[in-house]
Amino acid sequence: MNISPELFDMDPDMSDYTTFSHGLYIGGKWRPSSDGRVIEVIDPSTEAVIAAVPDATLADAAAAVEAAAEPATGWRETPPRRRSEILRRCFELMTERAETLAALISLENGKALRDARGEVAYAAEFFRWNAEEAVRISGEFGLAPSGANRIVVDYQPIGICVLITPWNFPAAMATRKIAPALAAGCTVILKPASETPLTAYALAALYEEAGVPPGVVNVITTSSPGPVTAAMLADARVRKLSFTGSTGVGRVLLAEAAKHVISCSMELGGNAPFIVFDDADLEAALDGAMIAKMRNAGEACTAANRLYVQAGIHDAFAEGLRKRMAALNVGPGTDSETECGPMITRKAVDKIDRLVQDAADRGAKILCGGAVPEGRGYYYPPTVLRDVPAEAAMAHEEIFGPVAPISRFEGEAEVIAKANDTEYGLAAYIYTRDLARGMRVASKIESGMIALNRGLMSDPAAPFGGVKQSGLGREGGQKHGIAEFMEAKYVAVTI
């Protein structure tokens, strides 16, 4: 197996990627797994095997922690300005190579190239933002209320961090953790999703080129994420677990981390309501719905999962959305004409289909799409349903696909109650021309993030995260993201 990261030397012709394989990236070296086993990577648009990556064992996990421990002191003592410059270089290299990275993301994840380009820009921005934050970490100094001493608070890197990321944003979910961790002075071990490991390895090679010292970032892939993660968390040198993924796996990891009292950040699932009031600008609401629903073909934690539309605008909105969804080009993500790529796996397609059929069985009307196409590739057509009842499974589970379920509502209190009728609380969207109502409803909706008259809220400069079972902690934002990777140290000083 070829285990060198030659991606950036290649002509960005898709056929080149089929021979592209990586090693585990541990201590700045590329190596196979200790038992030589590999995980196959599948192109979701053709179901063909496109690459193989090593399948890390417990011994490899131990080696990764060892490798992260080696430079830990040197990295935390590296001047913030130097760390900042390296992070800035990561941003520049990602920006220069945006097209190659986007093509790789499209290939292994299936998302449309335009979405992949957007992801690379978003992912790179975490390096620029945290390069700027790295030199602005400051402590506190004050007088104790008793007057007996001074209170000095210093913020220190938390220690070695285990980072676990999902397949839906293979670049951005990794950089949203790696950039603030490195800015804070921590070393990390990244375990990317098994479906999309190639982007994570390509980025590891890029970090090295940007000047990230060996061992500061380590990347391992494994088909045994439970035991491998448990082994890393059991090492007393590991002090942080930052996870992005499903709420179910998040619960398992919180229990595992509790055994060792490890600090946890959890970015988990969502069930975003998209609320359109009668007084909304219809065209703006439809534009916003297409972004909130169809970015990444619906495979986003912030995706609009339930569309509540007020009675007076309901029929016009439903027809407008049907027209727009039915007109989308479905195809391989790597095709520049594609607007909606395949889903990540056959299992994902089956789940989406189950949710659609369940809603139809309970009385929802399918306005377009709604059937799994024949042929190869994990495709599901853009689908709109109306009259979706509250008891439909899709009102409570993440659809994670190109399906827009519309329900009618009459009044403000009613829609707030409906929006909050979920264990999740990540994101919500509100469309109204009445700013006072928008702010009032925003304050009553139980979610970590609200987009008011917008279809997109993600921004490295804003705190991203959820309430309820959507997570713990925040990523990005002024100080929030870095704070997750630091501990406050208080010194009482008599002077």
List contacts with ligand NAP (CB under 6 A).
164-169, 173, 191, 193-195, 225-226, 229, 244-246, 249, 252-253, 267-270, 301, 398, 426, 466, 471
Residue 40's DSSP bridge partners are 52
Beta carbon of residue 231, minimum distance to ligand NAP (angstroms, whole number): 11
Beta carbon of residue 253, minimum distance to ligand NAP (angstroms, whole number): 6
Q: Which of 169/379 has CB closer to ligand NAP?
A: 169
Distances (CA, A) of 51 to 9, 87, 106, 443, 475: 17, 29, 14, 47, 31
Q: Which of 319/350 has CB closer to ligand NAP?
A: 350
Residues 6+ apart with CB under 8 A from 422: 271, 395, 396, 468
Q: Which of 115/267 has CB closer to ligand NAP?
A: 267
Beta carbon of residue 271, minimum distance to ligand NAP (angstroms, whole number): 9
Cα Dmax for the chain? 78
Tally: H helices and E strands in the chain:
16, 20
The residue number whose beta carbon is nearest to ligand NAP equals 245
Q: Which of 282/393 has CB closer to ligand NAP?
A: 393
DSSP three-state, residue 273: strand
Q: Which of 84/458 has CB closer to ligand NAP?
A: 458
Beta carbon of residue 262, minimum distance to ligand NAP (angstroms, whole number): 13
Beta carbon of residue 366, minimum distance to ligand NAP (angstroms, whole number): 24
Beta carbon of residue 96, minimum distance to ligand NAP (angstroms, whole number): 26
Q: Which of 174/206 has CB closer to ligand NAP?
A: 174
Phi, psi of 288 (to 5 degrees): -65, -40
Phi, psi of 429 (to 5 degrees): -125, 140
Q: CA-CA distance, 313 to 311, in Å (whole number)?
A: 6
Q: Which of 313/399 has CB closer to ligand NAP?
A: 399
Q: Is the dihedral of CA 278, 283, 288, 294 positive or negative?
A: positive
| Positions marked active-site | 267, 301
CA angle, 51 then 248 then 252, to 5°: 90
Beta carbon of residue 258, minimum distance to ligand NAP (angstroms, whole number): 14
Q: Are strands 272-276 and 486-493 parallel, antiparallel or unpaired?
A: unpaired
Contact 87, 182 (CB under 8 A): yes
Q: What share of the chain is helix, strand, coil (3-state, %, to 5)?
A: 40, 20, 40
Q: CA-CA distance, 265 to 276, in Å (whole number)?
A: 32
Q: CA-CA distance, 55 to 40, in Å (whole number)?
A: 9
